[in-house]
Chains A and B, each alone.
Chain A
Amino acid sequence: MSALDRLKGWEIMMLALLCAIVALNSIWSPYFLSVGNIVNLFQLSIEKSIVALTMALVIIGGEIDLSVASVMGLAACVMAWTFHEGAPMPLAILLALAAGVLAGLNNAFWIARVGLPSLAVTLAGLIGYRGVARIFLEDRAIGGFPDWFNTLGQQALIGPLTAAILIFFLLFILFAIILHGSAFGRLVYVVGSNVQAARYSGVRVGLVKSALFVGSAFVAALAGILYAARLGSVRGDMAEGFELDVITAVLLGGVSIFGGKGNLVGVGLSLLVILNLRNGMGLADITGNTQNNVIGGLLILSVLIPNMWQDLRDKWKGRET
């Protein structure tokens, strides 16, 4: 089974799963198929979904970024603090994005320049950036953002879709083009599959990796700002623990943890599967704990079952010859 076949197989599996879940949800709860609920379905985890897009690129590139959730929190705290200190909101937002870029540059320096493993660096970042966020906000919560900001985060912008949902779709298309249709995207795959070969071929591996980490942090900062707008208030512990959900979504999307394999369509489908599953379970009053069980089981089975199926098919083939 060639890599392409396997990937297509993955998408088909995800699609089938999605249809099954949507069908079940509609049966379980009469509220599921309403426009309001579908919007909620996305809105409740929209920031994680946005970050999953760049996480997919990072993992395909053979690395990992554990610090995304802390960068989300950091950006939100920077924005809230500067706004509270009197800066106009647009400036506060810019500073928040700048903070994200700085964090990304920091990650890129230690990983691409010094050559430390990304797991170690972004683990330190997970702890450190959250710490910096705490320095700004300590034990306060800051709210009272301008109305336009809150409205942008909470109310629909075009039709029933909120700004965050629109941004998600735009970024999805953007990153799909980058990953699958541009030279940079090809470089990401090359660096992810065989970094040594890439180096010897003259690929500027350091630059590619730096771009990935800066991009990842920037998008995380953006997601943090959107999260603050949706919630209307910022605390030091915002988005704590989100990285696990993001990585789960990416892995469930068929992206290989070893790099070099996977595509954005799979990730998009896996996001849909997870969002629908959580929403359906939520409407059926199933607790978050059980939801985690189900998603965890799904993650394992999504790889285990195809493997076992593959084994069975090989055995049958063996018998025939």
Chain B
Amino acid sequence: MNWLKRRVRPEQIRELSLLVLIVAAIAIFGSFIDGYYSFRTFNRIASSVAIITVVAVGQTLVVLTRNIDLSVGSIVGFTAYFVGTLIANHNGINPLLAVVIATALGAALGVVNGLIVAWGRVPAVVVTLGTLAIYRGVLVDLSGAKTVTTDSLPEWLTGLPLVNLTPIGNLDIRPLFVLALVIVVIFQFGTTYLSFARRFYAIGSNPEAAQLVGLPTKGIVFLAFVICGALAGLGGFMFLVRFGNITVEAGRGLELSVVAAVVVGGVNIFGGSGTVSGAMLGAVMIGTLEQSLFRLGISEFWLDAVLGLLILLAVGSDAVILQRLRALWGGAELKLVTKKAGSVSGEQSAPRP
């Protein structure tokens, strides 16, 4: 047990507690809804959170550095619309090229955010509130209010959500879900094991110290926004695949869901702690709630009220669990130090990401 407490930190356990909460929620829903434990439910939740998850990964990086990106909804809409129009006009375009274009376009929009935040020294909230409006506005102005319609899109695009990657019986693993999972895995490993990635955490926990130590704070923050934009662009492509029909209003309000996922997922809004997998779990939690409440037979009009309450409870119980865990850890550390007095050094009792 002590070994465990030395190796693992409370924040990592937090993800487990969120996972427990999700399992509990599924168990409760399952007991009320017939046929809940089916692959279809899994598929339903997986597909609906795939896009939010990908964008939430990018948002997590930004939030880790003590910033926020409210323009992701507009970036998703922008890229979905433009890549959709591009593909509609050039049906023969290489699918991978389309994905690259979407990601690059998102990254370009992220560059603008990053430049103004990092070098313009404008608070991220201000910048991204502004670009939320501007990116959407430019989209509406340039689009001429046309809609991208599914019959203008090639078969590979409209058929993509239908592709079943696993031939195992009824299990339906769809490409969008796999993509989201791959992104989460890549970034989770990246942020955990790449020493370069530790800089995101460092800047978020103590920007002044990071600067004194000589970290290129501006560059890192800039990079966070570019990656966030790129992932939002990728999310835009996924959006196009999933919905096909893209209006200029696509993605409106998405930033709310993404921030909710990040917050519920335990990423500290003041920066410095939290993980990408936590954000994914946050998205899954909210997605599960959203998808399942309706099936409970709760009136359409009660749904949002219940959802708000449940999000509050999720964040609240999460925080309470974390407090308990920290107390547990703190107590253990103290015992450890007094036991091996003199021979133990460098054991810190304050949680660190």
Contact = CB atoms under 8 A, between A and B. Distances in A.
Contact, chains A and B (beta carbon distance below 8 A): yes
A29 interface: no
Contact of A296 (B134, B269, B305, B308): B134
Among the interface residues B125, B306, B320, which one has the most CB atoms of the partner chain A within 10 A? B125
B122 interface: yes
A290 interface: yes
B133 interface: yes
A296 B316 contact: no
B116 A293 contact: no
A213 interface: no
Contacts of A248: 129
A257 B305 CA distance: 28
Contacts of B306: 131
A293 B315 contact: no
Given A258-B123, A300-B116, A129 B308 contact: yes
Contacts of A295: 133
B129 A307 contact: no
A307 B133 contact: no
A128 B260 contact: no
A290 B263 contact: no
B305 A299 contact: no
B60 to A, nearest CB: 14
A234 to B, nearest CB: 15
Given A299-B129, A300-B122, A123 B259 contact: yes
A256 interface: yes
Nearest to A67: B308
A216 to B, nearest CB: 17
Contacts of B127: 300
Contacts of B226: none
Contacts, number: 134
A307 B304 contact: no
B194 interface: no
Interface string A119-144: 11101111111111011001100000
B285 to A, nearest CB: 12
A131 B305 contact: yes
A134 B304 contact: yes
Interface residues of B, number: 41
Interface stretch (B51-59, B136-144, B180-188): B136-144
B193 interface: no
Interface stretch (A81-89, A110-118, A158-166, A272-280): A110-118
A30 interface: no
B120 A304 contact: yes
B198 interface: no
Contacts of B210: none
Interface in B93-133: 116, 120-123, 125-127, 129-133
Contact of A128 (B129, B256, B263, B304): B304
Contacts of B312: 110, 116, 120-121, 124-125, 128
A114 B126 contact: no
Contacts of A124: 260, 308-309, 311-312, 315
A255 B323 CA distance: 32
15 contacts: A110-B316, A128-B308, A128-B312, A129-B308, A131-B302, A131-B303, A131-B307, A132-B305, A134-B305, A236-B301, A244-B129, A257-B126, A289-B137, A290-B141, A293-B141
Closest 6 CB pairs of A and B: A128-B308, A131-B304, A131-B305, A296-B133, A293-B137, A300-B130
